[in-house]
Every structure is written in C-alpha cells, then in structure tokens.
C-alpha cells in the first residue's frame, strides 16, 4: 500500500487518510484528513474572530462619532446643510472619517446610499 507523508503531523499514512486532490502530484492533499480538519477549524475561527474584533472597534468609533455630531448639531456647533449633490433639504450626516466626528458631509438619503456604495464616484464625488 502506498503511504503518503502528512506535511503537518509528519506521519506516513495510507493514501485513504488523505483527501483526494487531483491537481497535486500524488493525487492527494499534503495534509492528512485529521490535520486538514484541524486546519480548517482554526482558519474558520481565526477569521471570524478577526472579523468581529474589527467590526466591534469600527462600530464603537461610529457610534461615538454620530453621538458627538448629534450633540454638536443640538448646540449649534454643527449646522445642517442641504444635500451636496441635489440640494434636497432633508439630509443625513455622513462621516468620511469617524476619527473626526465634527467633519461631516450632508446628503439626502438616496445620495448618501450612493456615496456609501461608491457609485457617486462616477460623478467625481468621493467619500
Ligand atoms: Zn497529519
Ligand atoms: Zn441628494
Ligand atoms: Zn455615510
């Protein structure tokens, strides 16, 4: 029986202990099934954690910036402006940088969504 070497646990195992992988020379994966499963699990959770952490940090900044801007608006430090694209009076705040809570841009709902999605770039308007 042909045995293959696992690149992770360095055990020589029968071919059946590996996932088939046609594009490789031996026709099987370089990791045994057991190691492959561990690897996938680790990669899956590692990726998730990084994602949630980034999301959490982003969100705290976002909430903080919005809150500060709302307050500045209330005390008159920040003044509501019409949409910078179409001039519509009913506008929403857009923060190009949450690190600068009082640096906001005013856009109507429609143009705000377009700006966030990047489709206003065609008109020369960027975040
Ligand atoms: Zn292994
Ligand atoms: Zn608009
Ligand atoms: Zn926005």
CA of 40 to the centre of ligand 2 (A): 46
The rounded distance, in Å, linking the Cα atoms of 59 and 9 is 40
CA of 51 to the centre of ligand 1 (A): 28
Q: What is the pLDDT of residues 30-40, one digit of tens each?
A: 999 999 999 98
CA of 108 to the centre of ligand 2 (A): 4
Q: What is the pLDDT of residues 85-97, one digit of tens each?
A: 999 999 999 998 8
The rounded distance, in Å, linking the Cα atoms of 46 and 33 is 20
CA of 56 to the centre of ligand 3 (A): 17
The rounded distance, in Å, linking the Cα atoms of 55 and 45 is 15
User: Model pTM greater than 0.75?
Assistant: no
CA of 92 to the centre of ligand 2 (A): 10
**Cβ-proximal residues to 115 (8 Å cutoff; 6+ apart), any chain:** 94, 105, 107, 125, 127
Bridge partners of 18, per DSSP, are 32
- Tokens for 84, please give them: 């910078």
């Amino acid at each position: 029986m042909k045995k293959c070497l696992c690149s992770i646990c360095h055990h020589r195992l029968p071919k059946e202990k590996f996932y088939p992988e046609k594009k490789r020379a031996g026709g099987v994966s370089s990791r045994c099934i057991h190691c492959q499963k561990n690897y996938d699990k680790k990669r899956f959770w590692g990726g998730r954690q990084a994602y949630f952490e980034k999301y959490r940090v982003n969100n705290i900044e976002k909430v903080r910036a919005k809150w500060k801007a709302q307050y500045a608006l209330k005390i008159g430090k920040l003044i509501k402006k019409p949409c910078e694209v179409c001039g519509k009076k009913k506008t929403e705040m857009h923060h190009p940088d949450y690190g600068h809570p009082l640096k906001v841009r005013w856009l109507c709902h429609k143009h705000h969504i377009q700006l966030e999605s990047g489709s206003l770039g065609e008109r020369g308007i960027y975040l």
